[in-house]
């Protein structure tokens, strides 16, 4: 992430060292070659929202479309290998466009861990699409707060307020009900898909906390993290697939369907890569809670469009269980603005209890006060 006075995001960190010695104090907001600095906050927000929706809706559509190819279900990990290769290429292109170069900031041992977690997150998530109804997979990804909450406590020692735990509980309830609905209406429901996406979320929680800690400590630019994380992850996965024999099978299968695999995967990877940059810009300009709200709305639209573009059974239980998840996400966003602690919650409960007791009719018996029997 950019450091110093500049808040520029140029598909990464083009202006990492810019403004360190003074100069223009006004923050720059750039996405690719588009300079949003001179627009007002509302226009910046609307442009970022349009970018997030456009890119991630294409991302979700292409991901589901790839798995509609007959026989592609076993090749989720090969899709991840292709995606990693594209991300590495995008990272190098981005780095070559920069006028300033920064030496590697984060130690290789940290990148080795990040690469392993990145591989688990994306590989398991891609593979789960072959076993799960796509809306169910998206709902699971909406509930990333649950493992992130646990990971932030275990890895970074963070403390969370009651609203965060209430949010996680609401998400758990909604997630369980959504999955039960899916198992009832989907004739080919496979619990293995639930296992895959759950493991992906655990890896995602770990990578988020490890990455946050590393980038805060070493101030590494985004494109460095992309190149090394995905580069090492690519080597991991290529070796594993080569030894297991799945690499050759994936190459042979994709050679028979180059457009539906490599072509669709290019659009899938490009929109995902660019979408990340716009989300980061949204975080910088409007804050993390607003960014979370926008991305949640995007996921809701993704689920709706999935039912429109890809024929699948629907039940009303999808709707209200999804709303429970959305309520949990709202509580999570609200908790960022309201720093309610367990001590504050205890005081509120005590105040309400004392106020209730003081309003109840009482009868005196000797020196004791007893509540009147009703």
- Does the residue 368 lie in any domain? no
DSSP H or E stretch at residue 175: helix 162-185
Dist CA 135 CA 314 (whole Å): 11
Please give the average per-residue pLDDT across 69-91, as a whole number: 92
Domain count, the chain: 1
Dist CA 114 CA 103 (whole Å): 18
The closest alpha carbon to 140, from 124, 156, 155, 151, belongs to 124
Please give the average per-residue pLDDT across 157-185, as a whole number: 77
Could you tell me the residue range of the domain that residue 251 belongs to?
Answer: 47-342
> How far apart are the two ends of the chain, measured CA to CA in Å?
64
Please give the average per-residue pLDDT across 192-214, as a whole number: 82
Q: Which residue, chain included where needed, has tokens 């039940």?
A: 315
- Does the residue 361 lie in any domain? no
Q: Strand 30-31 relative to strand 362-365: parallel, antiparallel, unpaired?
A: unpaired
Dist CA 87 CA 270 (whole Å): 8
- Does the residue 213 lie in any domain? yes
pLDDT bin (cut points 50, 70, 90) of residue 369 is: very low
- Does the residue 138 lie in any domain? yes
The closest alpha carbon to 142, from 331, 326, 315, belongs to 326
Dist CA 43 CA 34 (whole Å): 13
The pair of three-digit structure tokens given for residue 101, joined into one six-digit string: 């170069």
pLDDT bin (cut points 50, 70, 90) of residue 21 is: very low
Q: Write down the mean pLDDT value for the chain.
A: 76
3-class DSSP assignment, residue 72: coil
Please give the average per-residue pLDDT across 264-286, as a whole number: 84
Q: pLDDT value at position 337?
A: 66
Radius of gyration of the chain (CA): 24
The closest alpha carbon to 156, from 115, 213, 215, belongs to 213
More confident residue, 116 or 184: 116
Please give the average per-residue pLDDT across 203-213, as a whole number: 76
The closest alpha carbon to 306, from 99, 16, 68, belongs to 68
What's the length of the chain? 374
The pair of three-digit structure tokens given for residue 124, joined into one six-digit string: 């398991």
- Does the residue 265 lie in any domain? yes
More confident residue, 365 or 208: 208
- Does the residue 59 lie in any domain? yes
Cross-strand partners of 371 = 362
In the chain, the percentage of residues whose pLDDT exceeds 70 is 72
Does pLDDT of 297 surpass 50? yes
Q: pLDDT value at position 269?
A: 94
Write the pLDDT tens digit of every residue in 211-220: 777 777 887 7
Does pLDDT of 368 surpass 60? no
The pair of three-digit structure tokens given for residue 40, joined into one six-digit string: 């007002």
More confident residue, 54 or 11: 54
For residue 2, CA distances in Å to 18, 94, 101, 214, 309 come to: 9, 15, 13, 14, 39
Write the pLDDT tens digit of every residue in 38-76: 888 888 888 888 888 899 899 989 988 998 899 998 899
The closest alpha carbon to 341, from 162, 142, 141, 110, belongs to 162
Q: Which residues contact 107 (CB under 8 A, 6 or more apart)?
A: none
CA angle 46–142–281, rounded 5-degree value: 30
Please give the average per-residue pLDDT across 365-374, as a whole number: 43
> To 10 degrees, what angle do helices 316-337 and 134-142 make?
20
Dist CA 262 CA 266 (whole Å): 6
Dist CA 26 CA 14 (whole Å): 16
139 contacts 307 by C-beta, under 8 angstroms: no
Dist CA 36 CA 29 (whole Å): 5
DSSP H or E stretch at residue 362: strand 362-365
Q: pLDDT value at position 137?
A: 81
Q: Which residue, chain included where needed, has tokens 């909406």?
A: 142
Q: pLDDT value at position 187?
A: 60
Instruction: Name the DSSP letter for residue 257.
Output: S
- Does the residue 33 lie in any domain? no
pLDDT bin (cut points 50, 70, 90) of residue 9 is: very low
- Does the residue 367 lie in any domain? no
pLDDT bin (cut points 50, 70, 90) of residue 99 is: low
């Amino acid at each position: 992430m950019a450091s110093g006075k500049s808040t520029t995001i140029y598909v990464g960190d083009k202006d990492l060292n810019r403004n360190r010695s003074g100069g223009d104090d006004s923050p720059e907001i750039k996405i690719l070659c588009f300079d949003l600095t001179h627009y007002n906050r509302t226009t910046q927000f609307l442009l970022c929202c349009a970018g997030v929706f456009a890119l991630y809706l294409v991302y979700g559509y292409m991901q589901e479309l790839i798995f509609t190819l007959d026989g592609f279900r076993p090749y989720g990990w090969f899709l991840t290998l292709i995606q990693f290769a594209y991300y590495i290429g995008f990272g190098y292109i981005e780095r070559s466009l920069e006028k300033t170069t920064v030496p590697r900031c984060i130690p290789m041992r940290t990148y080795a861990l990040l690469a392993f977690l990145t591989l688990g997150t994306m590989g398991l998530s891609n593979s789960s699409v072959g076993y799960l109804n796509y809306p169910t997979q998206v709902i699971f990804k909406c509930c990333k707060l649950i493992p992130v909450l646990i990971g932030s406590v275990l890895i970074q020692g963070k403390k969370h307020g009651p609203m965060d735990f209430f949010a996680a509980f609401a998400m758990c309830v909604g997630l369980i009900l959504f999955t039960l609905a899916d198992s009832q209406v989907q004739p080919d429901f496979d619990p293995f898909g639930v296992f895959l996406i759950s493991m992906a979320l655990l890896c995602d929680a770990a990578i988020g906390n490890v990455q946050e800690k590393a980038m805060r400590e070493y101030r590494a630019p985004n494109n460095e993290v992309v190149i090394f994380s995905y580069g090492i992850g690519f080597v991991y996965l290529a070796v594993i697939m080569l030894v297991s024999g799945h690499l050759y099978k994936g190459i042979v299968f994709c050679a028979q369907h180059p457009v539906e695999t490599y072509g669709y995967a290019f659009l899938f990877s490009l929109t995902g890569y660019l979408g990340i940059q716009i989300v980061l810009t949204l975080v910088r300009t409007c804050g993390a809670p607003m960014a979370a709200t926008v991305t949640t709305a995007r996921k809701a639209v993704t689920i709706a469009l999935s039912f429109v573009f890809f024929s699948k059974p629907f039940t009303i239980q999808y709707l209200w269980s999804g709303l429970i998840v959305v309520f949990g996400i709202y509580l999570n966003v609200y908790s960022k603005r309201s720093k309610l602690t367990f001590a504050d919650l205890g005081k509120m409960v005590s105040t309400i209890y004392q106020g209730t007791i003081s309003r109840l009719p009482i009868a005196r018996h000797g020196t004791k006060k007893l509540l009147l029997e009703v």
